[in-house]
Structure 1
């Protein structure tokens, strides 16, 4: 095992850390006009650029279909989601009511004590299926695990609800018109089935330490689950690849990108300029992140269960106010969304083009099929894996069907009233060109403009929401990356602290410098997680079906006893 860990360490470092020669060469090319922090940023960008180009071209390889080019990863995500929807007979519809009851705690008494511990240490004493050393912990907590279903849901939501909902929706509509919203909703609905499968498996194959600490996620169900199916070699390869990608994604898209966007929004709102201000902002955020992540998933869960609803009140509340102010235009907006989905303007790429835009932005927003959420959900206190699977399917519904749709309606209605921009009118960087001016706005700026137009000065409130979104995303991704790190390098305190120290350091780095190539690279790593994860989900689907039967039988028995 030590040899495997060393190999993985070497590979991950080779992938994540750019070569020194590239860095030195890049540093020499940086212009002298820039400050030292900007020089470092340019150097890192140049260092990552060759690696980033290769990785992104592989992960986002496009398959030509008719006159369109569709990213392979998107085809895999949607095909998997459609298969799970049909295989499990539309769980995205049938299990929503059950999911709400689980989150509310209606079945808490049914789940008081577990007999299904998944301890990997063969030397630990087990009596009647229970780890002796965790009996006290389990009785105090109610069942195996560290967090409640609601905390697990909010922790996972905090990683997915964020800039994809604010910026991604705006870009989708700007590129594909209002019709892209319809396909985002469809992608969110079928994505619920993927989340259901991966979250069920996350709980089923998790490891629980003597002290009750949980370790779970695709790394475990790929290695342990496929071993059960006599595919141990394939399981190890897929699990190792997933873990490496998860670590890289946690440092990049789940950390540096978030701190970078939060810093930019904050400094733009306050009017403060300079690299030094970015560093100070990064240090403050890093301290706050460090305080929370040192406490582990319990602390993360306790924070996100407060932050996520607060964010929802701010953002969704403002959207509801705008929609209420323009209630008469909501039917018109929905009409534009539906009409645009099936008969878009030719310049927007036709029906298939609009469909691709909607599907792609939904996938980037809710991460259904990526496997990341299964890591958070695996820490839940439960005896029945499928109980957390049904909770997990609420994520894409909340993230994409509810929040993204609200964002879309606000943008479509405000644009309808004020004519802010023409659909499909973009520059080379997918920035929206505002009508009558030379101003090019990014996705988050466009959303801010739409809200500001309806509610003057709301951009200040939106900035707070963006910072909270970024903060909560960093918390959850720190846990995802840590679990992957521990899977590869062991579960000791030293490895734990090393990862957390690196994560906090990258918060400062991300806030301080522009990291275009690094972010493109880390986004590719996050979506590279799709390949091993979907393979595992497909192979382990029969196991999920068995768990669903156990859970449904338990509900029937529990309900009968109560009545």
Structure 2
């Protein structure tokens, strides 16, 4: 098992090397510069769209703008925001957070382009139903000769969508916060039982299809975000005297990397911390990876730019708000230096330090909702990839592998799970960003037409 863990770790390091940095960050910067920050001027309009002002039942699609964003967020707002941030700080120190922010701002532009393309170039599956996502906008936008690139994305997506990291960290949280203090933890046997329970809960929702997933997500996502915000706000109030100091520290340490413990990159620790922040940021908001466009591609709209604007809100909510809350809770409490814990256990230590009893159990509720909602949404992405590769009639087969993987994730090491998903996220980004950069001029043309009509009052 240790040898396999080492192989997966090496694969993740190789996948997240300089080429992917150029694709994700370089590609994202190219998109921002090409469109001259134009979508950022219409974030107020994006909120109006999200509130349903422009909903039209006769438009093509399956779900509302709000349900599409909630489905995408229920996948991204998960353990990446709680455990992923903790992993970033434990390895990289406060400075890693700054590079997660940079990843998010660039990611907002990337999400605008990919979600717009998901509507602009929707395809049909083998049953004749309208579908969206990178595999479809590659085929419809670039042509059938690009099928290998679309297939590459879908194959990587079959593994990248597996919920092993979320299952692993939810299991760890249940053990550390609930079972171990009560003396009920029994090792692998307990993990297996937790995995069975999670798999059963997930099966009840995901076997009901996108409609049930989106309706469940639209109820869970706002509630979990509000509860988490309240808990972290209480922690920050307790430590209000050091909050400004740590906010400043995030900026200064980003360029000194004094607390970085990982491998150097491009000859230095600053390069290493940049890669770490971008890697954890990408895992958090998935901008450029290609998962969210599959949810946004199902939105009920005939205006591609509208869905692109709604999708932009995802990285802002996910990384700039929720990840920052987690980071500040860990930093101001000092547990990032005083504790040897990692992942979700480090975040739990921060909550327990400031809010004894209430903190850790409140966090447990948030973790449960975050993780379970993610377990629901990722199944949809996997079935879309399965449908593209093997036909719509076979997409349900994926759900059974998906449910089994929850048990595997619950009973396996954190390092193996996070490296496995990181590797396939990196592979998914290659076709997504390649097609997005090539098709960018078409998105820019659509954006200029849409914003001109908006100014004219149409």
TM-score by length of 1: 0.74
Report if the CA contact (8 A) 1:194-1:369 is conserved: yes
Find out whether 1:523 has 2:422 as its counterpart. Answer: yes
Q: Which has the higher contact order (CA 8 A, sep 6+)?
A: 2
TM-score by length of 2: 0.89
Give 1:466 deviation, angstroms.
1.7
Report if the CA contact (8 A) 1:92-1:192 is conserved: no
1:534 maps to 433
Provide the C-alpha distance between the structure 1 equivalents of 2:244 and 2:170, rounded to a whole number of angstroms.
Answer: 35
2:179 maps to 270
Provide the C-alpha distance between the structure 1 equivalents of 2:408 and 2:303, rounded to a whole number of angstroms.
Answer: 41
1:345 to 258, 281, 288: 258
Q: Does 537-546 or 339-348 show the bigger shift?
A: 339-348
Partner SS for 1:370: coil
Partner SS for 2:25: helix
1:440 maps to 340
1:85 maps to 32
2:15 maps to 59
Give 1:57 deviation, angstroms.
5.2
1:183–1:461 Cα change, 3 Å: same
Matches within 5 A, 1:153-164: 153-164=69-80
Matches within 5 A, 1:246-395: 246-251=157-162, 255-268=163-176, 269-271=178-180, 272-274=184-186, 275-345=188-258, 351-395=270-314
1:395–1:332 Cα change, 3 Å: same
1:553–1:321 Cα change, 3 Å: same
1:208–1:441 Cα change, 3 Å: same
Give 1:354 deviation, angstroms.
3.9
Give 1:146 deviation, angstroms.
1.0
Report if the CA contact (8 A) 2:81-2:319 is conserved: yes
Partner SS for 1:393: helix
Report if the CA contact (8 A) 2:172-2:345 is conserved: no
Provide the C-alpha distance between the structure 1 equivalents of 2:195 and 2:234, rounded to a whole number of angstroms.
Answer: 33
Matches within 5 A, 1:137-156: 141-156=57-72
Provide the C-alpha distance between the structure 1 equivalents of 2:327 and 2:418, rounded to a whole number of angstroms.
Answer: 25
Report if the CA contact (8 A) 2:78-2:166 is conserved: no
Give 1:193 deviation, angstroms.
0.6
Find out whether 1:238 has 2:137 as its counterpart. Answer: no
Report if the CA contact (8 A) 2:96-2:273 is conserved: yes
1:410–1:279 Cα change, 3 Å: closer
Matches within 5 A, 1:104-183: 104-108=51-55, 112=56, 141-183=57-99
Query: Larger Cα Rg: Structure 1 or Structure 2?
Result: 1
Provide the C-alpha distance between the structure 2 equivalents of 1:513 and 1:237, rounded to a whole number of angstroms.
Answer: 33
Q: 1:94-151: CA deviations, max 9, x gaps?
A: 232221111012223xxx3xxxxxxxxxxxxxxxxxxxxxxxxxxxx34211111111
Find out whether 1:453 has 2:367 as its counterpart. Answer: no
What runs of 5+ residues in structure 1 fail to find an aligned partner?
1-41, 63-70, 113-140, 423-433
Provide the C-alpha distance between the structure 2 equivalents of 1:152 and 1:394, rounded to a whole number of angstroms.
Answer: 12
Report if the CA contact (8 A) 1:155-1:304 is conserved: yes
Q: Does 192-201 or 523-532 show the bigger shift?
A: 523-532
Aligned length: 446
